Amino acid sequence: MAGHRARRTGRPQTLLPLRTRHLFHTLSCWYCDFKISAFNDLLFSIGRKHARFLRLWFALGVGFSFMALIGATLILLWEAAGALRLYNGTIVNWNFPTGMLFGLFPMVPGLRISIIDIGYMIISTLVSIAIHEFGHAVAAASEGIHIEYIAIFLAILFPGALVAFNYELLQSLPQFTVLRIYCAGIWHNAVCCAVCGLALFLLPLILYPLYVHSENPMVLSVAPTSTLSGYLSHGDIILSLDGSPIHDPQEWTRKMVLMDGHTLKESGNPKDSQGLSAVSGEKGYCIPSSWVEESMKVQPVLEPFACPDELTAFKSGPCFKSSSLENNSNNFSQQNITSSTHCLHAKDVVKLQKCGSGWQTTRTNHSSCPCSQDEFCLAPVQMPGLTWVEIAYSRPYSSECLQLGQNSLDDFENPNSGLTKCGGTFVFVGDVLSVVHSIQLTSYRPRWAFSFGPLFPNMLEKILAYISHVSATLALLNSLPVFFLDGESILETSLCHIPGLSPRRRSQVLRLCLLSGSFLSFLAFSRILLSLIVNVRTCGLPTHHHSYKVTTWNDEHLHCVFAQFLK
């Protein structure tokens, strides 16, 4: 956060010389700072060299800062009205903008709290504060005011920075000139946020010479505790889910959520006497009759619908009757097939043609039963609440695949290529929401294999998103009419433009506005923290919805906390 500018209260300020050789740093039990004067001449030179342009530039910032001040004040008033129950909360949910006001909500989709993310946040905070203070310093220099020093401080547990000016010289300037200096930091943070947002929007075009965007998502990392850790690894490309192509991480998440909703709906289907679901719903495979006949020779385990190791149980699927059994040349009856559990190798079954209406692949013939006369539509047996998902992937950057040529990914997508070392298809059976956030994906795929190729776009995307978020938070936070922030200076200078206010009355109005703003800010911040604490305790307890049943602090836990808060 930005500190105030070597001014305030009615007490005389101790003015340091314009060129300070020795600065004394402050250290106490609640406040410490580090003062820097090495950049004074450089910043003053930049401000004076481009003074005419900078005055026009920061004049635009005055208008924006006033709008930000009004917007931040309205958010605080709305939050106070909500806390006092003066309005019906169903009209508009302002939890999100109020949280953004204090920087409590991440702007990065699929945020993963880790040491690397903390590093991104620290770097983004330093960059945003530097841009904020640079605005104040250059705005002052453009008006001929020297900088006394730049200080980085820590007040209790809150970090910040400030630029100290010659207060007496500052007060001798016209009021609108003073406003340009005070509004410069907020304006620079707002511009930084807009530039980062534009860069994020144009990032696929900027990286186009080196990266392919939104063709297929690439795996950056897989959590060690994830059930997919043994199948997917860094650099793998996810091609499809249940035969439906996947183009980006958002589509991966959306289709997984749809599958989970479909599974929950199917869990209400009638169950057998043992409480197990008879089949996996509408997902089936066209099994040759010879495989079915051989499977009947395998003796299932005593448990219902269980098979020996490495085999999976299948039963008659939703379009079983579409397969013709009239030409029964294999001498086994339809009754035996429909009532028996067939134990088959899943890795062989997934290569067969699909049947049933549960697959996400769009069929051109509009038929859910494409099996031939000598095939049967069988569906895998699974426990209620679990989902059967086919995940196709490729490994174009593995050493084996690189030896086959640079077009290995295109070759793998061709079913007639015969390549097996560059990828494959595996089946995941379980809770899809538990794994949807356990792997980190990116929409960018490098055109050539080179060091840090897959990681660079993700790092650039994250740093831009974090800087945008922190800059927006810093601009809104400094717009608040509270003590010790830019909002105090802007409000005090603005009151000087109101005719009819004596200095004494102006001081009273300023103090009343600052006390009210500080109290409302404290109220809003306390309400948000209390809500988050309650949600953390709620999400730590088992609930009926399995996606919120967590016992450790992880991505799923954070997803639950923020989802509960935004309800």
Hey, is 163 helix, strand or coil?
A: strand
Flag whether pLDDT at 412 surpasses 60. Answer: no
For the packed helices 51-83 and 40-49, what is the interaxial angle rounded to 10 degrees? 110
Return the amino acid letter for 156. Answer: I
Alpha-helical regions (H) of 84-114: 95-101
Q: Whole-angstrom Cα distance, residue 460 to residue 56?
A: 32
Hey, is 180 helix, strand or coil?
A: helix
Question: What sign has the CA pseudo-torsion 281, 286, 292, 295?
Answer: negative
Domain segments of the chain: what residues? 31-204+459-542, 216-450
Q: What pLDDT, in 10s, does the model give residues 9-48? A: 333 333 333 344 456 677 777 788 888 888 899 999 999 9
Q: Averaging pLDDT over each range in 71-85, 162-176, 177-191, 358-372, which range is the top one?
A: 177-191
Q: Which of 281-285, 346-350, 351-355 has the lowest mean pLDDT?
A: 281-285
- Distances from the Cα of 471 to the Cα of 55, 66, 111, 130, 475, angstroms: 22, 17, 18, 10, 6
| Statement: the pTM of the whole predicted model exceeds 0.85 | no
pLDDT level of residue 358 (50, 70, 90 thresholds)? confident
Reference 191, options 36, 61, 82; nearest CA is 61
pLDDT score of 329: 45
- Counting other chains too, the contacts that 76-83 makes at CB distance below 8 Å and 24 or more residues apart are 76/101, 76/480, 76/517, 76/520, 76/521, 76/524, 77/520, 79/520, 79/523, 79/524, 79/527, 80/520, 80/523, 80/524, 83/523, 83/524, 83/527
pLDDT score of 563: 47
Q: What pLDDT, in 10s, does the model give residues 124-171? A: 999 999 999 999 999 999 999 988 888 888 877 777 888 888 878 888
- Distances from the Cα of 356 to the Cα of 113, 311, 386, 430, angstroms: 40, 22, 18, 20
Q: How many Cβ atoms sit within 10 Å of the Cβ of residue 235?
A: 18
Flag whether pLDDT at 249 surpasses 50. Answer: yes
Question: Is the Cβ–Cβ distance between 181 and 143 less than 8 Å?
Answer: yes
- Distances from the Cα of 277 to the Cα of 39, 110, 310, 339, 340, angstroms: 71, 33, 21, 14, 15
Q: Which of 268-277, 474-483, 506-515, 548-557 has the lowest mean pLDDT?
A: 548-557
Residues annotated catalytic, as ranges:
133
Q: What is the mean pLDDT of the chain?
A: 75
Q: Whole-angstrom Cα distance, residue 157 to residue 31?
A: 9
Q: Whole-angstrom Cα distance, residue 321 to residue 77?
A: 66
Flag whether pLDDT at 543 surpasses 80. Answer: no
pLDDT (average), residues 434-448: 86
Between 230 and 101, name the one with better pLDDT.
Answer: 230
Q: Which of 238-252, 267-281, 341-355, 520-534 has the lowest mean pLDDT?
A: 267-281
Q: Whole-angstrom Cα distance, residue 9 to residue 213?
A: 55
- How much of the chain exceeds pLDDT 90, in percent? 23
Flag whether pLDDT at 330 surpasses 50. Answer: no
HSE-CB at 421 with a 13 A cutoff on CA atoms is 10
Between 317 and 111, name the one with better pLDDT.
Answer: 317
pLDDT score of 421: 62
Question: Is the Cβ–Cβ distance between 356 and 314 less than 8 Å?
Answer: no
Reference 221, options 418, 441, 471, 432; nearest CA is 441
Q: Which of 36-50, 396-410, 431-445, 513-527 has the lowest mean pLDDT?
A: 396-410
Q: Whole-angstrom Cα distance, residue 417 to residue 237?
A: 17
Flag whether pLDDT at 347 surpasses 50. Answer: yes
Alpha-helical regions (H) of 331-485: 334-339, 346-349, 399-402, 408-413, 433-436, 455-478
Token duo for residue 314: 């299948």
What does R_g of the chain's alpha carbons equal in angstroms? 32
pLDDT score of 401: 75
pLDDT level of residue 271 (50, 70, 90 thresholds)? very low
